[in-house]
Structure formats: C-alpha cells, structure tokens
Structure 1
Amino acid sequence: MQAAPERSAVPGHGRTPSSGASRPDRNAGVVAMVGSGVSNQVGAAIGSLAFPVIGPAGVVAVRQYVAAIALMSLSRPRLSVFTWRQWWPVLLLGLAFGSMNLSLYSAIDHIGLGLAVTLEFLGPLSIALAASRRRIDACCALIAAAGVVTLMRPQPSTDYLGMGLGLLAAVCWASYILLNRTVGRRVPGAQGSAAAAALSGLVFLPVGIILVLRQPPTTGAVSYAVAAGVLSSAVPYLADLFSLRRVPAQAFGLFMSINPVLAAVTGWIVLGQQLGWSESAGIGAIVAANTLSIVTSRR
C-alpha cells in the first residue's frame, strides 16, 4: 500500500499539518496526496511486468536499491554516531521493510494487485483498531473480518499461498509501523528510515548478484523494476512529506483507506486483472471499515 518508508504511520493517526495552511497550499497537498497513491499502485503494477524475467525477489531487490539511494541521499544519516540503543530498532526496521515488500510482491504474483494490497492494508488497520476502545471500532473490526472471510472463503480457484503472503505482508507492515515509532523517538529526522533502507538494500544485494549470474536480466525487466522503485518508494515518500504539511491528518487517512480500490483499478487497467463480485465485496468491506473508523474518530 500500499506502500516502504513512505508508509510510516497508521492511516489517519498521529499526523498533523502545519497550522494556518492556505487554500492553495491545501489544494497542492491534495494533488500530492492523490499523486502519491496513484504512483504507488502504478509502480507496483509496472514492477509486476518484470516478474516473468527476474521474479518478485528481483523486482524487490531493485526497489530496495532505489529506496536506499533516495533516502540516503535525502537524509544523509550519521551512522558512525548511532548507539546500540538506536541501531537495534533500525536493524529490525530494515528487516521488516524488506520482508514487507517481498511478501507483497510475491502475493501480487499469485493473487493480483488489488487483493494483495487489500490484505496488506489489514496491517495498519489492525493497529488502528487495536489501539481503540470505542464500540464503533469493534464494529469496524467485525466488518473488516467479514471482508477477509469473503476474500478467503474456500473455492476451487482460491490461491491460499497468495492469500497467506498477503497476510504476511500485513504483519510486516504492522511491525514496520511499530518499529518506525521506536526509531522516530530514538533517531533524529528521517535518518533512521534511511539507515533501515540502506541495510535492507544490502541484504538484497546477494539476490541481485545471484539473479545476474543465473540469467542476465533484460533491459526491459530492469527498467520495469527501477520504475517500480521510483514510483512506489521515492515519489510517494516525497509526496507524502509534502502533503502531510498541508492537509488534515484525517483527510490523509481517508485517502489512504482507498488504496485497495486504487490498486484494484490499476490492476484492471494496467494488467487486465479482473475481480469477481465476492472479491470486490471483500475489498469494499475492508475499505468501509477503515473509512468508518476514521470518520467517527475525534482526532
């Protein structure tokens, strides 16, 4: 979902725009927010075009390299002064970052973009609902659970491995959010996220070497993978930083909640992936649960 370092918080929680933002600033923020969501899903769709040549692992490896280069260039973390208290959550964050993207792209390879992103979105949604004690959020949890049951109900065409990978991506995204909070408290600015991205890129370096030695990738496949890294990591990260200073946190969270719908539409337009009524209903239930939770929230 969505989403990498750019997806570092629970949708609609803990984000506050700068005070006194003018209407042009808010409009610019909305445009950036929309661009971020579209870029993220289009990047994932384009990256999947390289699966037949380098596989999901190869695409994720290139994406991790791009994310590491972009974040290291922007943040320039002072790694030599990190203490162990700062390093251990950064190490875990890098592991969660790589695992999240690998499980998501593997799920996309099995069940398509729309379903994979929807299942991954359960990660931040679960954290948001678990942190609440409101009855309405208990109802939202039931709605989301009904959506999951609808998506995963047994039928001849059900790809349980793909579904499991999507749920693993959700767990990794939830872990990424919690670890990002810890890193944010212990490491100044975006230095922690940049260091985690660099570590994740190093972990995937052997993957890239093995792929090149086994079967030299085509120029087209590498181009697709690089495009996925730029569109799904670098562009959303910068766009989210821009928009979060100009639009209310609730508006940002509401837009994030429709990312599964964006993914389904993108998968249909770019990849020709069709969804049945049951899959559409499941996606709608999960999106509705998050939207209802945010709309009724006091923050």
Structure 2
Amino acid sequence: MHCAQQFRGVRLVAMTTVHTPTPTAPSRGAGVALMSGSALSNQSGAAIGSLAFDIITPAGVVAVRQWLAAVLLLALTRPRLRELTRAQWRLVIALAAVFAVINLALYSAIDHIGLGLAVTLEFLGPLAVALAGSRRRTDLGCALLAATGVAVLMRPQPTTDYLGMGLALLAAVCWACYILLNRALGRSLPGAQGTATACGLSGLVFVPIGIAVLVTHPPTAPALACAITAGVLSSAVPFLCDALALRHVPAPLFAIFMSLNPVLAATTGMLILDQHLDAAQWASIAAIVTANATTILTRR
C-alpha cells in the first residue's frame, strides 16, 4: 500500500498551516476528485509494488520506494541540516527509524495477508492516537467498535496468518509514533524540513539493505518497473494531488476522506491482485473505518 508516511507528514503540515476559504460546490467537487485520485493512486501503487515481491521481496520494493521518496522530498524542501540542534536531530533520527520500520512492516504484511487487511489494521494507529486519553462516550463507543472489528479479523481460523497481522499491527504502532514525533518536530522546525531529513536518513538506511536484497535476488526489468511505479504512484502522485486538494476542501473533510483508504485498499486488492475477502472481513473493515470517521466528525 500505503502508505508512505513521509508524505503524510507534508500533508499534515499543509492541513495545519494553510488557510482554505469556504469552498464553492465546483471547487469542492474538484477537491473530491483530487482526493479520489490520490487514494486510488496510493493503493494502486502498493498493489503494483506487491507484484514484484516474488522477485525482489518486500524489502527490495521498500528500498526502491524509500530512495525515490527521499530524493523527491529532499529536492522539494531542501532542509538546512547544519542548523539542526542536537534535540532536533534526536527527533529526526527517531522519525527515520519509524519510516524504515513502518514501510517494511506494511509491505511484509501485504505479502502475508493482502492489501485490504494490512491497510485496515495499520489505520488503528491514528485511531489509537485520536482516542488516547479521551473520556467521551462517543470515543469509547468508537474504540469498542474498532476492537470488535479487529477481533473478527484476528479470530482463529485454519487460514489465519498471525505473522502478517502482527506485522500490520507493528505498522499501526509505527504510524502512531509517527504522528507523535511529527507533532514534536513541527513545533521546532518550519515546514516539512524534519520529515524530509528523516526520509533522507531512512533512504540511507535502505542502501545496504537494498543492495543486499538486489544482489541475492537479481531483479528483472518488470520487477524493477513495478517497484518504481509503486514509488511514483504511492509517493509523488498522492503528494501532488493532496497539496492541490487542500486548496479546495477544508481539512476536516480531507481527514474524513483519508479514513476511507482501507475500503479502497480492499477494493484495489480485489481488482488488481484477485484478493477476495469474505463478508465478515468486509464488515470488520467497515467497523474500523466507521470508528475512525466518527471520531474525526465528532471532534470537529
């Protein structure tokens, strides 16, 4: 999938710093179209990237994606590395570690349990951050609804892949850590400099990993094309579409739309990868998406 967290960081900065006037109907329609294009591109990129797993493994695909994302973000933001303080570097290094783990965990989870379920479980991360410490009855209900969905997804069955689900939950933990670290960085660094620097460090971490994988698993031209396509569709295209969409729609609507990604991921997995889910799994995805969207709506 999913899901390059570094570009979510740029979107988060935009959502909290850019003032968007009350959109007109045509303007909002353009924003919805852009958000739809972003989400479909993101999930399609993840699906296409997974086609290369058998040749260069999930680690190889993640390495290529990280390199592309690092080059793009560093070129766009041009962070001033010499001006970073020791405290800022600690946050940047921690965020770089989160980037490295979350993408590898998510892509490995996709290899085990499929795109839809992996993205759905990953979305528990931001939901947990939103619900943490809340005493509202609505939030308690959302937590119970999401927990019910997770329990159904992870119920013991002959085909249950606990390793894949564990990797997806690890990605969820990393996404929660990403949100908290990004908040801390946003208080001390302007724009997306911290996110871009962390992305660059993460790309460096994957240099020896990527080389080792590509040497032991010689890539074919189609596999490399899939990995590169994943980097473009899941990084560059969503970044551009989201930046433009935020000029047409308010930030709350943007956040609500992002919560629909698990449904889009499951649909994309079915259409591109022939990954079909049963009724209980679809109901679980709907429960987690509803919990996430309800939390955002009621907080606004």
* Same fold at TM > 0.5: yes
Q: 2:212 aligns with which of 199, 210, 213?
A: 210
**Count of aligned pairs:** 296
Secondary structure of residue in 2 paired with 1:204: helix
Secondary structure of residue in 2 paired with 1:188: coil
TM score, norm. by length of structure 1: 0.94
Q: 1:190 aligns with which of 184, 189, 192?
A: 192
Unmatched 5+ stretches in structure 2: none
Match of 1:293 in 2: 295
Secondary structure of residue in 2 paired with 1:158: coil
Measure, in 2, the Cα distance between the counterparts of 1:258 and 1:3: 16
Measure, in 1, the Cα distance between the counterparts of 2:232 and 2:86: 31
**C-alpha displacement at 1:133, in angstroms?**
2.9
In structure 2, give the amino acid aligned to 1:7: R
Sequence identity (%): 60
Does 157-166 or 131-140 show the bigger shift?
Answer: 131-140
Measure, in 2, the Cα distance between the counterparts of 1:27 and 1:16: 19
Match of 2:222 in 1: 220
Does 55-64 or 225-234 show the bigger shift?
Answer: 225-234
In structure 1, give the amino acid aligned to 2:246: L
Q: 2:48 aligns with which of 25, 46, 49?
A: 46
Please give the per-residue CA displacement for 1:20-50, whole angstroms capped at 9, x wherever unaligned.
Answer: 4454443332222111111110000000000
In structure 1, give the amino acid aligned to 2:84: F
Q: How has the CA–CA distance of structure 1 residues 185 and 135 changed in structure 2, closer, same or farther, with 3 Å as cutoff?
A: same
Confirm or deny: 8 A CA contact 2:150 2:284 kept in the other structure: yes
**C-alpha displacement at 1:15, in angstroms?**
7.6
Q: 1:252 aligns with which of 227, 250, 254?
A: 254
Match of 2:241 in 1: 239
Please give the per-residue CA displacement for 1:99-123, whole angstroms capped at 9, x wherever unaligned.
Answer: 1110000000000000000000000
Confirm or deny: 8 A CA contact 1:257 1:290 kept in the other structure: yes
1:81-230 mapped onto 2 (5 Å cutoff): 81-230=83-232
Does 72-81 or 158-167 show the bigger shift?
Answer: 72-81
Match of 1:63 in 2: 65
CA RMSD of aligned residues (A): 1.7
Confirm or deny: 8 A CA contact 1:68 1:194 kept in the other structure: yes
Match of 1:5 in 2: 6
Measure, in 1, the Cα distance between the counterparts of 2:17 and 2:162: 35
Q: How has the CA–CA distance of structure 1 residues 24 and 96 changed in structure 2, closer, same or farther, with 3 Å as cutoff?
A: same
Confirm or deny: 8 A CA contact 2:70 2:203 kept in the other structure: yes
Unmatched 5+ stretches in structure 1: none
Measure, in 1, the Cα distance between the counterparts of 2:135 and 2:149: 21
